[in-house]
Chain A
């Protein structure tokens, strides 16, 4: 009897605590969504406007078409940003570096997993690439890039993002390959398949979903990268997060609504991708050391 009431109490307490954190965890995102639908007068109002009324799409239209927005009769300062170019840059750079990083990671992971081309301990040192704060090498990197004429170009950013995400892709893919028993490949070869056939017909189908998850995971990292994108671009190859910081003008005349409208465009793809691969997020963030839940 006593045990039962205690269990019930625990269950109630669990819901209460989790719901409290739910509010903390989702409120900022809610506020962003709400602000993006607010008229300019409501962005900075006191008391704050909790629900945009009437909801408006003006912010979205202003951000994506570049038309200035009217606020209480006065035109808000115009923002000269080319959102579509930034979007294009983001897609090409994040997509390109993701594919490259995963391709290299796949080769390296297979080599290490099956042929020990590098001892595992040595491969572990690759994590240095990830753990070192990027700002530490930013200055010489920019000078090196300017001598190579790679500054402010797509391929320049693709190269550096590929290098910095390599530890994640190698370790994540390796954890998937390690789960495919080597005996399966050997059995296929005994039955007359060539090495390449064994890889293509046995390993690839088994790790396909893992590779897709890795791609999405790396995409999350490259899409949201800010610092290197900031220091290595000047206007041609600026990505969305870098463009987003353009909204920072004077402290008082903040364009909260527009900023929120663009923020949603930047964030929504990642949230969708993240929820799609939520089972593999653990593996990605722990460099394959922790597998499934």
Chain B
């Protein structure tokens, strides 16, 4: 490029201009990179949400129309307005399933929080064998839920090991039909859920206990507080954000629990262990009443949605104190 080649005398000013241009370019590049990143970071999320929108629209459509899968495509079904909602809301079986779900989630959450907190409390200070216990305690949480279900079916089988152990402990032969009778079946499921997720509570509680600020406990001890007083008036209040987090996550997960119910009892005996997910599954995939299931889904969406809204508010509020607690000790 003979014309464009700057002579040795002219090199100073274009060089300066080039430098300025480079600096400016760098500045905008950095800003543009942010913008570029902004675009790339959000695209998948927006795509995912766009992908889910038809699902929600379809849900509304189905809940307002009576569609029977084998009579024709869904867009030819009859409009029935809010009939289905009325039908669903006055149905005994549905309301019972909701109540049962809440009882199940409540009791299993309570039990796993109590046991999990207890275990974390016992494991909080180092002692020989602590790592050993920890490793074995987290195994239930890592087991695939379907496998958990089948495992307990083997254990609770009428001539299975659980009844045998009970027979050894009490006089006479115990032959409880754990999964064949109403109350034992429900209690078994609560126990299975508790067994499965106690490690989750334990590891989170343990993390909380270990990274809790030490000074308040020390101060209370110096002031002569007893172990129990320290626990109830110092440890527990300090652990509140962690407790809130655990209870919320556990409760919502238990409400949505399906695999264990499906593998262990399928809602039986009768409908006695039928929770919301099981009833919804049966309605749409066993009775093929898709529209009714859609209406039920909407009712549940509203109920659970409200809980989630409150839960997210609560979590956001607790997150601040959790963040300070864990960045302090995180190091």
Tell whether A274 pairs with B146 under 8 Å between CB atoms, given A132-B301, A195-B30. Answer: no
A83 within 8 A of B: no
User: Is B211 a contact partner of A292 (Cβ separation < 8 A)?
Assistant: yes
User: Is B312 a contact partner of A127 (Cβ separation < 8 A)?
Assistant: yes
B87 within 8 A of A: no
User: Is A25 a contact partner of B139 (Cβ separation < 8 A)?
Assistant: yes
**CB-CB contacts of B103-141 with A at 8 A, as 1s and 0s?**
000000000000100110011000101000111111111
User: Is A241 a contact partner of B142 (Cβ separation < 8 A)?
Assistant: no
Which chain B residue lies CB-closest to A270?
B142
Question: For A244, what are the chain B residues with a Cβ–Cβ distance below 8 Å?
Answer: 146-147, 150
A87 within 8 A of B: no
Question: For A275, what are the chain B residues with a Cβ–Cβ distance below 8 Å?
Answer: 135, 138, 142
Tell whether A137 pairs with B297 under 8 Å between CB atoms, given A195-B30, A231-B285, A290-B322. Answer: yes
Partner of B207 from the list A17, A121, A290 (CB cut-off 8 Å) is: A290
Whole-angstrom distance from the CB of B258 to the nearest CB of chain A?
A: 5
Give the residue among A247, A281, A289 with the most B Cβ atoms within 10 A.
A289
Residues of B125-169 at the interface with A, using a CB-CB cut-off of 8 Å, are 127, 129, 133-148, 150-155, 157, 159-161, 164
Q: How many residues of B contact A (CB 8 A)?
A: 101
Residues of B211-240 at the interface with A, using a CB-CB cut-off of 8 Å, are 211
Tell whether A163 pairs with B52 under 8 Å between CB atoms, given A128-B312, A224-B145, A293-B207. Answer: yes
User: Is A117 a contact partner of B312 (Cβ separation < 8 A)?
Assistant: no
Tell whether A26 pairs with B139 under 8 Å between CB atoms, given A121-B316, A131-B311, A227-B277. Answer: yes
Question: For B290, what are the chain A residues with a Cβ–Cβ distance below 8 Å?
Answer: 139, 143
**Stretch in B2-10, B11-19, B34-42 with 4+ CB within 8 Å of A:** B34-42
Partner of A144 from the list B55, B134, B139 (CB cut-off 8 Å) is: B55
A118 within 8 A of B: yes
Q: How many residues of A contact B (CB 8 A)?
A: 93
Partner of A282 from the list B147, B159, B207 (CB cut-off 8 Å) is: B207
Cα of A196 to Cα of B30 in the assembled complex, Å: 10
**Stretch in B78-86, B88-96, B182-190, B249-257 with 4+ CB within 8 Å of A:** B249-257
Partner of B48 from the list A24, A128, A166, A254 (CB cut-off 8 Å) is: A166
Cα of A138 to Cα of B263 in the assembled complex, Å: 18
User: Is B294 a contact partner of A139 (Cβ separation < 8 A)?
Assistant: yes
Tell whether A140 pairs with B58 under 8 Å between CB atoms, given A195-B33, A281-B138. Answer: yes
User: Is B74 a contact partner of A143 (Cβ separation < 8 A)?
Assistant: yes
Partner of A289 from the list B146, B200, B301, B322 (CB cut-off 8 Å) is: B322
**Taking chain A's interface residues, is the majority helix, strand, or loop, or is none over half, making it mixed?**
helix
**Taking chain B's interface residues, is the majority helix, strand, or loop, or is none over half, making it mixed?**
helix
**Stretch in A74-82, A108-116, A201-209 with 4+ CB within 8 Å of B:** A108-116
A266 within 8 A of B: yes
Whole-angstrom distance from the CB of A91 to the nearest CB of chain B?
A: 15
B98 within 8 A of A: no
Partner of A140 from the list B41, B48, B55 (CB cut-off 8 Å) is: B55
Which chain B residue lies CB-closest to A49?
B161
Tell whether A26 pairs with B136 under 8 Å between CB atoms, given A127-B312, A137-B59, A282-B204. Answer: yes
B270 within 8 A of A: no
Tell whether A22 pairs with B37 under 8 Å between CB atoms, given A136-B297, A226-B145, A282-B204. Answer: no
Tell whether A293 pairs with B195 under 8 Å between CB atoms, given A117-B37, A136-B280, A137-B59. Answer: no
Question: For B287, what are the chain A residues with a Cβ–Cβ distance below 8 Å?
Answer: none
User: Is B245 a contact partner of A136 (Cβ separation < 8 A)?
Assistant: no
Which chain B residue lies CB-closest to A106?
B41
Question: For A290, what are the chain B residues with a Cβ–Cβ distance below 8 Å?
Answer: 204, 207-208, 242, 245, 322, 326
B308 within 8 A of A: yes
Cα of A191 to Cα of B3 in the assembled complex, Å: 36
User: Is A133 a contact partner of B276 (Cβ separation < 8 A)?
Assistant: yes
B272 within 8 A of A: no
A125 within 8 A of B: yes
User: Is A278 a contact partner of B135 (Cβ separation < 8 A)?
Assistant: yes
Question: For B136, what are the chain A residues with a Cβ–Cβ distance below 8 Å?
Answer: 22, 25-26
Question: For B30, what are the chain A residues with a Cβ–Cβ distance below 8 Å?
Answer: 189, 195
Give the residue among A138, A196, A231 with the most B Cβ atoms within 10 A.
A138
B293 within 8 A of A: yes
Partner of B143 from the list A44, A112, A267 (CB cut-off 8 Å) is: A267
User: Is A24 a contact partner of B195 (Cβ separation < 8 A)?
Assistant: yes
Question: For B137, what are the chain A residues with a Cβ–Cβ distance below 8 Å?
Answer: 21-22, 25
User: Is B55 a contact partner of A141 (Cβ separation < 8 A)?
Assistant: yes
User: Is A138 a contact partner of B37 (Cβ separation < 8 A)?
Assistant: no
Residues of A215-242 at the interface with B, using a CB-CB cut-off of 8 Å, are 220, 223-224, 226-227, 230-231, 241
Interface set of B (CB-CB < 8 Å, partner A): 29-30, 33-34, 37-38, 40-42, 44-45, 48, 51-52, 54-56, 58-59, 62, 74, 115, 118-119, 122-123, 127, 129, 133-148, 150-155, 157, 159-161, 164, 195, 198-200, 203-204, 206-208, 210-211, 242, 245, 249, 252, 255-256, 258-259, 262-263, 276-277, 280-281, 284-285, 290, 293-294, 297, 300-301, 304-305, 308, 311-312, 315-316, 319, 322-323, 326-327, 330
| Subset of 22 A-B contacts with CB under 8 Å | A29-B139, A31-B154, A47-B164, A107-B40, A111-B41, A131-B256, A132-B305, A133-B300, A133-B304, A135-B276, A139-B284, A143-B58, A166-B45, A189-B30, A227-B281, A241-B146, A245-B262, A259-B154, A266-B147, A273-B142, A286-B204, A289-B315
Using A111-B38, A267-B142 as known contacts, list a sample of 4 further A-B pairs with CB atoms less than 8 Å apart, ordered by residue number in A: A133-B255, A267-B143, A270-B144, A286-B207
Sorted from nearest, which 10 A-B pairs have the closest CB atoms?
A111-B41, A133-B256, A274-B142, A140-B58, A46-B159, A224-B144, A226-B259, A293-B207, A104-B44, A140-B59
